[in-house]
Structure 1
């Protein structure tokens, strides 16, 4: 196998709908391992520190996946096979290193691998003469610096450095403007032309860049595939617990509740959403905001998967407060994303926000999820699961009654 561009595959025409390539689908298999390992961080009775560690490691894993995903989106059939496979191998190392985090093992390996993968993803853009402003993190590596420092740091300071690096990436995502970048680039070009007499031939193409953008249809498919894999991890959690236990009435009720909850989320995120983000329509928000919403949505779903698995393990006793809060907080986060996406989608359609419909259809699921966290200590595990199902179904009915365009048929 070589690092030669895949020239034999024809580029899609303007009338063809581009789909994920076999290379991209193979690359996405690493998400299966990653989400499973990350969910284990929240097993047992996770503390607030565990939840913070899960958040940082999940965002790091997702960021690496996204850096290679946007490269494949822009490069298309010319994406270098070895670049993608190196990314896949590195992400496998990231996933494997999650296992010993509670004991303080493999943390240095996690940091080193993250730095290497960010470097590989950045170098993939060299020679393309393109700047991707839809996801500047792919080429903006200032956020990697705290990760490099963390390699030689022990204790809690290492986690804070990781969080600082991710915060820099978030700042870059939200603050960098394609228009300002283009204006600055044009100004530098003009200045370079004025100084042409004093410039060497080596500098001629120094500012020969152009701003490129993501393919929204292809991006939506890749993001949706990520969400499908995360939902698959939820199914795997239910099956794993159920296969090793006696099939009593409690287990059957919990398994059915978990299945119906996942069906409702699948409907909201993939049938009625875009890129795995519930209630979102394509082009409702900028691509960089779609990616941020996707990150938060799937982080919440990964935590929800861990909570579902843990709740089945405690089905005959009291549900620990920490696990109840994992279920409550993760589902509440999902509902907040669904509400924000619904309002953005109505704005795109130039439809007024009907506040009455918002209060009736979209806010009750949030209130119920938070009530489970604050007041659900005395509830049996089965009741918690079925209350979450009720909240999800109510949110799904809210789409049908409040969000779906008039005249459209339900899916």
Structure 2
């Protein structure tokens, strides 16, 4: 079906069929560029397995994730899928591709290109919000708030391109605070025009699938670098168990009930749910890199190097703590007490895994990944037990 050249933005969340909203083909195609971006930032971590390297990986990961969130939350409210929107989406995809190209040296010689490409992504989003506010008076308060906050953050990113290292990165952190704080301080405006309660959980689930896919690719890549053997095969299988367990305990409970809190102005709950997906994505992708390194180390027959042990343990622990936060506020998982129990399971397992990181200096690669896999698999079993016959809490 031919698309009209241009349609004014409309308020999608006010439509009667909003409950039937699903990801569009354009959104799914848009996600593909983030497959490349996640692959590049994971490759950066793969070559910088250290504490400093991990912090650098996080610093590069956040703009990628926030770019995706920005486009997704705009689309859930105002997407028209006309020719104009498609062309702006194409421009965003090109800017994200440039962002991905600059990731490899994004904290060094390519940091200017990284910053400018991110500014371009945000500038397109700001224009979209201004146009939406112009055509939809009911949404003008929200769109103006978002456009203002995001513009300030984008301007700071632009200024950072002219600053020397490492001051450039300090300015990035300031911009992040403004970017993330803009939705947090939009309380009543978001309550008037909340995001789609069906569309956003699906979209975040799809992004989680992207990072899980990168983790699986990392496992395959690790095995492909070696001659096939029993040790590498065992580590690969255990790595897949970790990924599958994380998939299970996330997607068995993925739900937009915390997001509904935004509809009554309780931004803290809704944004805690949303922002918890950031460390979850960071942890999943990092865990894939960790498994890849463990597969290679499994051929040496000696204790797993400390940097690699800390990487896999910290990454999986971050995932479990993020899931604890998500499950604690997901009302469909049952009563407050039941959700606290589930969260305690996740935190307890994360603590056990960190003990391995601290005290597992003599453990082999198979022993480390084996214990991590068991800790994750136990979460699946406990989740099945805890959620059996669970009923949503009416107060939610």
Fold match (TM-score > 0.5): yes
Larger Rg: 1
Deviations 1:55-81 (A, max 9, x none): 111111111111111111112334611
Matches within 5 A, 1:349-368: 349-353=334-338, 359=344, 361-368=345-352
Aligned-pair CA distance for 1:131:
4.9
User: Unaligned regions of 5+ residues in structure 1, if any?
Assistant: 183-210
Aligned-pair CA distance for 1:139:
5.6
The structure 2 residue matched to 1:396, chosen from 380, 384, 392, is 380
Matched-pair contact (CA < 8 Å) for 2:223–2:296: no
Compute the TM-score of the two structures, normalised by the length of structure 2: 0.84
Matches within 5 A, 1:159-238: 159-178=169-188, 211-238=192-219
The structure 2 residue matched to 1:41, chosen from 26, 39, 44, is 44
Structure 2: distance between partners of 1:348 and 1:53: 35
The structure 2 residue matched to 1:292, chosen from 275, 280, 287, is 275
| Residue of structure 2 in register with 1:155 after alignment | 165
Structure 2: distance between partners of 1:270 and 1:295: 16
| Residue of structure 1 in register with 2:127 after alignment | 123
Deviations 1:133-184 (A, max 9, x none): 59965662222233122111122111111112112223333333226x99xx
| Residue of structure 1 in register with 2:362 after alignment | 378
Deviations 1:265-303 (A, max 9, x none): 11111232237xxxx876477443332111121111111
| Residue of structure 2 in register with 1:310 after alignment | 293
* Total equivalences in the alignment: 370
Aligned-pair CA distance for 1:305:
1.5
Structure 2: distance between partners of 1:254 and 1:59: 29
Compute the TM-score of the two structures, normalised by the length of structure 1: 0.81
| Residue of structure 1 in register with 2:106 after alignment | 101
1:325 and 2:313 correspond: no
Aligned-pair CA distance for 1:24:
0.6
Change (3 A) 1:13 1:358: closer
| Residue of structure 1 in register with 2:24 after alignment | 21
| Residue of structure 2 in register with 1:185 after alignment | none
The structure 1 residue matched to 2:115, chosen from 72, 96, 111, is 111
Matched-pair contact (CA < 8 Å) for 1:137–1:169: no
Change (3 A) 1:355 1:76: closer
Structure 2: distance between partners of 1:374 and 1:330: 14
User: Unaligned regions of 5+ residues in structure 2, if any?
Assistant: 134-138, 262-267
1:52 and 2:55 correspond: yes
Aligned-pair CA distance for 1:255:
0.9
Q: CA RMSD in A?
A: 3.0
Aligned-pair CA distance for 1:109:
0.5
Structure (1/2) with the larger helix percentage: 2
> Which of 125-134 and 219-228 deviates more?
125-134
Give the 3-state SS of the residue equivalent to 2:337 in structure 1: coil
Change (3 A) 1:101 1:122: closer
Change (3 A) 1:86 1:15: closer
Give the 3-state SS of the residue equivalent to 2:131 in structure 1: coil
Matched-pair contact (CA < 8 Å) for 2:232–2:299: no
